[in-house]
Copies of this chain bind each other. A is one copy, B any other.
Amino acid sequence: MTKKLFILPLLLLCSLLAMAQEVKSPNGAVQVKFYLQNGQPTYEMSYKGKPVVKPSHLGLELAKSKYADNKEKETDLMDGFSMAGTQTAAFDETWKPVWGETATIRNHYNELAVDLHQAASGRNITIRFRVYNDGMGLRYEFPQTDKLNYFVVKEERTQFAMAGNHKAWWLPGDYDTQEYETTTSKLSEIRGLMKAAVTSNASQTTFSPTGVQTSLQMKSDDGLYINIHEAACVNYPTMHLNLDDKNMVFESWLTPDAQGMKGYVQTPFNTPWRTVMVSDDARDILASNLILNLNEPCKLEDTSWIQPVKYCGVWWEMIVGRSTWSYTNEFPSVQLGVTNFAEAKPNGTHAANNEMVKRYIDFAAKNGLQQVLVEGWNVGWEDWFGKSKEYVFDFVTPYPDFDLKALNDYAHSKGVRLMMHHETSSSVMNYEKHLDAAYRLMNDYGYNAVKSGYVGDIIPRGEHHYGQIMNNHYLHAVKEAAKHKIMVNAHEAVRPTGLCRTYPNLIGNESARGTEYEAFGGSRPDHTTILPFTRLQGGPMDYTPGIFVTKLSQWSNNTSQVNTTLAAQLALYVTMYSPLQMAADLPENYEKYDDAFQFIRDVAVDWDDSKYLEAEPGDYITVARKAKGTDNWFVGGKCDENGHLSVIKLDFLDKGKKYDCVIYADGKDADYKNNPQAYTITRKVVKKGDVLKVQQAKGGGFAMSLLAK
């Protein structure tokens, strides 16, 4: 009898704790429930009463590993849990980003943390939810104990059970590339469309016929915009999603290492946040700061040296194929420290030469562009790619026709800086060997920004672009750069997860299909109406817009065509938010259309405010932004292949002020295929409340500057 007296309350407590815990967003629209289902952590999420995530399990499958606490056998962190306690909290803070779409960002959420105990292993873990008005994040937290010190992840088993067969904008899941076209389909159609979606890339490793990448944008039949991504991916592999397309349940699928393992964890440790954004208004998804808010505050004490930048560069003419990164064709291949470049026969097509770079510097100086990127300045480009060559670049030795000191001096004399370029060819062990010297050289010559690149398969061989070791590398490069007051713009690196809040010198990333693909056969006209919903959730993209001569055959042997109008290229400076924007076309092409180029000269790269005016993924995006520290606004609108009529109510302008408005719009007969360069420039004076109608052509767009009088 005594026994029963003690047992009953315990059972009651257990049963109480097994009951669902609820947490709602500050405005009540988003609701998350958590409970144990036969000992399995389970959650569900709704928006305004509609299911967003149906009951879904949480947990991690652990690997048997000699590096783990439990060497011989390992108990998965999947089930057998009981609740040990819960904590709730509310948080409301406004913080100032170093650069961004708005001057301040509000971080406003309600939190639920559930402590779980697993009797079989004696381990405790915590699952933490933060619920915002536009979605939620959840993560696993592993406190340090003797029983939970080291473990190896076989697979994370975080489920996202969808409530229907949504429309999705998806990329094939891949451990090594994100440079696919987006496929738009129902979830049930992914499997059938996968093969066609996997186009070739310099490095690629797909893993499942229903595997897709994040950020994954979806739309439900009842009009909910749902987006799954992750935030603050640090010391952990990147997450993909694998779809059970019978039940429409996504499950996390981490990037493995060369041994097939998916994360080496030492406690205390928190996983990245797994995020689900939701709204019934697509504009809310674009305006969301949920990913940034789930990252740690800035860890750099001095950020005064971090400056948004507009730049041009010696780049597009190599991408298009008129000139080369390489200096000589004399050898089947080159070896650094062996090949004598000074005596090698020049190939005559090397673009990064003194004369050419000076021309770009002059162009930048004349047009108010702060920097000039120069690719192909350093030795090693002759056989940089596809050979898994370890010592491919040294990042400090220029070609004979690139005078490192003279060109930097010349640029500085014109008020311009050169932008450094570190293509690693994904020989990461080599890059890490040279990183310190490379950054020091930048300091010596006055560079303060580097575009880095990770084309091709990773060395250490067998590792993947988005594995734990590589994610640690990318962050290492950013943190080391900060010590040298260098801004980083990493291409082909892992898709961002908001780490630019913590390390704002991570000023850009590519990590998606950029403008270069327009020279490789083209991207679809709807491409840039999707990217802000997907790729841009994690951080800005160096999309390199501004291609005015869209038919490349006009000046090269390249038969590709940029699948937008010229006006649409202007729109991208506003619709594709980035504190780093390139004017990517050749100076001579800009000189032909100098009146349109005025917009690129004028447009800001840092903002005090942003208003998403219209948005539908894959169809159109229209946004207005207020330039940092001014009363000026810039508006951009970009649409898909169907065209779009934008009706813009200027109610974001300051009351009582007048604005000189310049509208760069598609010409009447413009369309991206046959008449891309037809544009009109209209000037008028406008005020708050005025309504402007702008017709966007097929594959077109518009840009608008509103300069306060």
Contacts and interface: CB of A to CB of B under 8 A. Distances in A.
Interface of A: 66-67, 144-146, 149-150, 257-259, 261, 264, 266-268, 331-333, 335, 338, 383, 386-391, 429, 432-433, 435-437, 459-463, 469, 472-473, 476, 480
26 contacts: A67-B388, A144-B331, A144-B333, A145-B332, A146-B332, A150-B389, A258-B258, A258-B259, A258-B460, A258-B461, A264-B388, A266-B333, A266-B335, A266-B387, A267-B332, A390-B469, A429-B432, A429-B469, A432-B432, A432-B433, A433-B435, A433-B476, A459-B469, A460-B460, A460-B469, A462-B462
A244 to B, nearest CB: 30
A333 B461 contact: no
A84 B10 CA distance: 89
Contact of A332 (B144, B429, B472): B144
A336 to B, nearest CB: 11
A257 B469 CA distance: 17
Contacts of A391: 472
A67 B388 CA distance: 6
Given A258-B462, A429-B460, A460-B469, A150 B387 contact: yes
Given A257-B462, A261-B461, A459-B469, 13 more contacts: A67-B387, A67-B388, A144-B332, A149-B332, A150-B387, A266-B333, A390-B469, A429-B469, A432-B433, A433-B480, A436-B436, A460-B462, A462-B462
A333 B149 contact: yes
Contacts of A258: 258-259, 460-462
A390 B234 CA distance: 13
A266 B437 contact: no
A405 to B, nearest CB: 21
Nearest to A68: B387
A529 B257 CA distance: 44
A338 B144 CA distance: 13
A268 B144 CA distance: 52
Contacts of A150: 333, 387, 389
Given A433-B432, A460-B258, A264 B67 contact: no
A331 B144 CA distance: 9
Contact of A259 (B145, B462, B480): B462
Contacts of A472: 390-391
Contacts of A261: 461
A473 B476 CA distance: 19
Contacts of A145: 332
Nearest to A67: B388
Nearest to A66: B386
A426 to B, nearest CB: 12
Contacts of A437: 436
